[in-house]
Amino acid sequence: MAATYNGTSGRADEGYSSGVSDLNIFYEPGHLAFMLIASVLVLLMIPGVGFFYSGLARRKSALQLILLSMVSVAVIGFQWFFWGYSLAFSRTGSAFLGDLTQFGLMNTLAQPSSSTFIPDILYYLYQGMFAAITPALAIGAVADRGRMLPAIVFIFIWSTVVYDPIAYWTWNPNGWLAKLPAYDFAGGGPVHQSSGFAALAYSIMLGKRTGYSKTQGLPYRPHSVTNVVLGTVFLWVGWFGFNGGSALAMNLRAIMACVVTNLAACCAGLTWLLLDWRLERKWSTIGFCSGAISGLVGITPASGFVAPWAAVVIGVVTATCCNLATKLKYIMGVDDALDIFAVHGVGGAVGNILTGLFGAQSIASLDGTTQPPIGWIDHHWIQLGYQLAGVCSVFAWSFTLSCIILFLMNLIPGLSLRVSASAEEIGIDDAELGEFAYDYVELTRHVADSASGGLSSSSSTHEKNSREVV
Residues 6+ apart with CB under 8 A from 29: none
443, part of any domain = no
The confidence score (pLDDT) of residue 41 equals 98
The confidence score (pLDDT) of residue 459 equals 35
Burial category of 412 from C-beta neighbours within 10 Å (exposed 0-12, middle 13-18, buried 19 and up): exposed
The CATH number that applies at residue 188 is 1.10.3430.10
Say which amino acid occupies 168.
Y
Pairwise CA distance, residues 97 & 120, whole Å: 18
378, part of any domain = yes
The confidence score (pLDDT) of residue 462 equals 34
What separation in angstroms does the CA of 52 have from each of 76, 154, 247, 266?
20, 21, 27, 18
74, part of any domain = yes
Domains identified in the chain, total number: 1
Exposure b/e, 419-447, CB count within 10 A at least 16 = b? beeeebebbbbbbbeeebbeeebeeebee
| Residue-range definition of the domain harbouring residue 171 | 35-425
Average pLDDT, the chain: 92
Q: Is 429 left (phi over 0), alpha (psi -120 to 50) or beta?
A: alpha
The confidence score (pLDDT) of residue 9 equals 86
Give the H or E element holding residue 322: helix 308-325
The confidence score (pLDDT) of residue 443 equals 54
Q: For 308-332, write each residue's pLDDT tens digit.
A: 999 999 999 999 999 999 999 999 9
Q: For 48-100, write each residue's pLDDT tens digit.
A: 999 999 999 999 999 999 999 999 999 999 999 999 999 999 999 999 999 99
pTM of the model: 0.92
CB 150, CB 416: distance < 8 Å = yes
449, part of any domain = no
25, part of any domain = no
The confidence score (pLDDT) of residue 294 equals 98
Phi, psi (degrees; rounded to nearest 5) at 246: -70, -10
- pLDDT above 70: percentage of residues in the chain: 92
Distance separating the N- and C-terminal Cα atoms of the chain: 61
Question: How many CB atoms neighbour CB 1 within 10 A?
Answer: 4
41, part of any domain = yes
